[in-house]
Amino acid sequence: MGQVSLLFNEYDCMGCHACEIACKQEHGLGIGPRVVRVLERAPLFKPLFCHHCEDAPCALSCPEDAITKDPKTGVVLLDGEKCNGCDAVPGKSGAEKQETSSCKVECPAHIDVQGYVNLAVKGKFQEALQLIKLASPFPSICGRVCHHPCESACSRDQIDEPVAIHSIERFLADLDLNADKRYMPGIRDKKEEKVAIIGSGPAGLTCAYYLAQEGYNVTIFEKAPVLGGMLTTGIPSYRLPREIVEAEIQLIRDMGVSMKTGVEVGKDITIPQLRKEGCKAFFIANGAQECIGLGIEGEGLDGVYSGLDYLRQVNLGNPVRLGENIAVIGGGNVALDAARSARRLGSPNASIIYRRSLEEIPSRPEEIAECQEEGISINTLAQPVRFIGKNGRVKAMECIKMQLTEPDESGRRSPEPLPGSEFTIEVDAVITALGQESDWACLTPECVCTLTEWGTMNVDTLTLQSDDPDIFAGGDAVRGSQSVIEAIADGRQAAISIDRYLSGQDLRLGRDRAFKAITEPQKEKYDPAARAQMPRLEPKKRVKNFNEVQKGFTAEVAVQEAKRCISCGTCCVQACSYDVMQFNHEVTKAVKCDLCVDKRGRNEIPACYAICPTRCIFWGDPKKFPIGIYQGL
Ligand SMILES: Cc1cc2nc3c(=O)[nH]c(=O)nc-3n(C[C@H](O)[C@H](O)[C@H](O)COP(=O)(O)OP(=O)(O)OC[C@H]3O[C@@H](n4cnc5c(N)ncnc54)[C@H](O)[C@@H]3O)c2cc1C
């Protein structure tokens, strides 16, 4: 028997639900789950069914080995004996198992967190890594620097503390980095089309990673002498060692992506020239690499540095010594990293000046704690008003105290100066870190794409396509300076769009899936268990060098910590791009369509296919299906 598949044409589906009813009757599912579902979603109906995906993430994610893919037929099969419903409780939370765990919902890249954490529990470290890599090529990087919204949303918090998810991710990824043979995803047949990517930060590299898997001929153009964008020139190595970034980039290079450093698009080569050379699509991922100034007196004095320029110098191996007393203005990543780098480069009195309170500071609590442990003070509710110089060099800084207004309608409190509260501090150097913007030199007059009033690229939020149909953009270039995981999410979405654009498919179809997070996870059967703590280099030792501060989990700690996951969703549901696996109050095990594969052997046809009045269901050999009816995610 050859490959078997099922296909719905959602344009022709009239939402009669006849296929659902026929399927339930045929399989004796009664009031239980429906393996085929038709959702009403104007202007179309949305049939949900098992796509028997080539890479079958549900099979990969199942810690019980209950789901397997038959290589002969391509059918994904569920073994009801092995399925334990990931702890689904009859009559209690079974229906909720159909929803998505909040860690996955909150992750901008929607990584199947529960899936990989549960695979880690079973010691299936390779499978766990593969699952992560379906949504992100950078688990070692994210395991170190991601702001982990997954942890902020973790249901375990309702019992004691969130699972240390990103430390588990780091453990899994580092294991692979050090393996004799690293995991590399499969690559489809080579395609002719060339794609150019502008910028080698996490957005550009991610887009390259997923396009390379589709077989495209991808070239990344990078104006800096090194690859990685802010991962290399922004984030210091005591948080993100260079060899980690290089190792994750190397895999993308090994997948056949060409990477050209020292080439600035817009100056050394232009988009129109690249079009002439045969590039059929572009992904602009140029980041937000320019510092925004303060616009106050004395900003041009020697000894006043922009945070990004300072960090770039340090990270490119040209450490700038600033003197003893350093003030850093700002409260984000750049400010903290600049202060901590200066501390390591011989400035014992580095302090941070931030105009709001610690409650509003954008940096993560753990980073603030590490900063304070290193002896860096954070002076809140203060702002510089001018820099005072002597012989052209900054010597002091006049500041003013700030107070926060009452919350406005959005609940936000704004800082305003406290009249008459000016004070002066002596400084040897100042670093300003107040935000970043993009440099749009890559756009030439031939490009019709436009910018927003904030200086970011205007794109369709679902497809990331710009006003130039062949130009897509994402990451900081579109969002303003944000985070690594958002850049990764955009890179993958852009790759999906570019693939669809180049193969003449609908860019939007099936991509507006809204995740609904589980609200009432089962908690009763779990006892409190303390969250594992990340071992760190002692503050006294770490301020002398750029060695990595966080040391990572051992396998034992990672598995122990993974066991704290309360499996608030079900692994196969989390992994499915099409929302297909079914649970409800009566059925605590998964139920899914097996394409009535046994019927095919008997030359019979499935009930859903037989009953459809609009003939919008196709079943059988996928090679015989009409092309372009449904494109999956
Ligand atoms: C100091 C610092 C610390 C940070 N810490 C964290 C953190 O802990 N966690 C977190 O999640 N995020 C952090 N961030 C933010 C994060 O690094 C960015 O959000 C992310 O790197 C954005 O990715 P990107 O690919 O969009 O752009 P970038 O990483 O900025 O990459 C853009 C690349 O495009 C290149 N480029 C620009 N113009 C051209 C051109 N015309 N031709 C060719 N190449 C060009 C640039 O040289 C650059 O390499 C930090 C940022 C900084 C600066």
> For 72-103, how does the pLDDT look when each residue is reduced to its tens digit (9 = 90+)?
888 889 898 898 888 766 555 555 677 889 99
Q: Are 322 and 339 in contact (CB under 8 A)?
A: no
Which among 221, 265, 333 is the best mutation to test ligand 1's pocket, defined by most ligand atoms within 8 Å of the CB? Answer: 333
13-17, Cβ contacts within 8 angstroms, sequence gap of 24 or more: 13/38, 13/44, 13/45, 13/47, 13/614, 13/616, 14/45, 14/613, 14/614, 15/40, 15/45, 16/613
Give the tens place of pLDDT for each residue, 394-444.
999 999 999 999 888 888 888 999 999 999 999 999 999 999 999 999 999
Whole-angstrom distance, CA of residue 55 vs CA of residue 69: 9
pTM over 0.75: yes
* Residues within 6 Å of ligand 1 by CB: 145-147, 198-204, 221-224, 229-231, 234-235, 264-266, 285-287, 289, 308, 311, 333-334, 337, 439, 441-442, 475-477, 481-485, 487
Which among 152, 227, 244, 286 is the best mutation to test ligand 1's pocket, defined by most ligand atoms within 8 Å of the CB? Answer: 286
Determine the 3-state secondary structure of 265 from DSSP: strand
Distance 536 CA to ligand 1 centre (A): 26
Which among 147, 205, 231, 235 is the best mutation to test ligand 1's pocket, defined by most ligand atoms within 8 Å of the CB? Answer: 235
User: What pLDDT sits at residue 578?
Assistant: 79
Does residue 174 carry a pLDDT above 60?
Answer: yes
Q: Are 249 and 228 in contact (CB under 8 A)?
A: yes
Give the pLDDT band of residue 32 (cuts 50, 70, 90). low
Report which ligand 1 atom has the smallest distance to the Cα of 334.
Answer: 1
Q: What is the DSSP letter of 285?
A: -
9 against 365, higher pLDDT: 365
Q: How far is CA 397 from CA 173, 347, 404, in A?
A: 45, 17, 22
| Range name among 64-68, 254-258, 308-312 with the lowest pLDDT average | 64-68
pLDDT mean over 44-52: 77
User: What pLDDT sits at residue 93?
Assistant: 53
User: What pLDDT sits at residue 616?
Assistant: 85
Does residue 569 carry a pLDDT above 90?
Answer: no
Distance 341 CA to ligand 1 centre (A): 18
Report which ligand 1 atom has the smallest distance to the Cα of 479.
Answer: 26
Closest-CA residue to 159 (of 526, 559, 532): 526
Distance 34 CA to ligand 1 centre (A): 45
Ordered domains of the chain (ranges, CATH): 1-99+569-633 (3.30.70.20), 106-183+522-568 (no CATH), 194-289+438-502 (3.50.50.60), 296-435 (3.50.50.60)
Q: DSSP assignment of 60-124, as one string?
A: HH-TT--EEE-TTT--EEE-TTT--GGG--TTTTTGGGGSB-HHHHHSTT---HHHHHHHHHTT-
User: What pLDDT sits at residue 549?
Assistant: 97
Q: Kindly report the average pLDDT of the chain as a whole number.
A: 91
Give the tens place of pLDDT for each residue, 465-504.
999 999 999 999 999 999 999 999 999 999 999 999 999 9
Spell out a b/e string for 11-42, using b for 16 or more CB atoms within 10 Å of the CB, else e: eebeeebbbbebbbebbebeebbbbbbbeeee
Give the tens place of pLDDT for each residue, 328-343.
999 999 999 999 999 9
CA angle 232, 238, 243 (to 5 degrees): 50
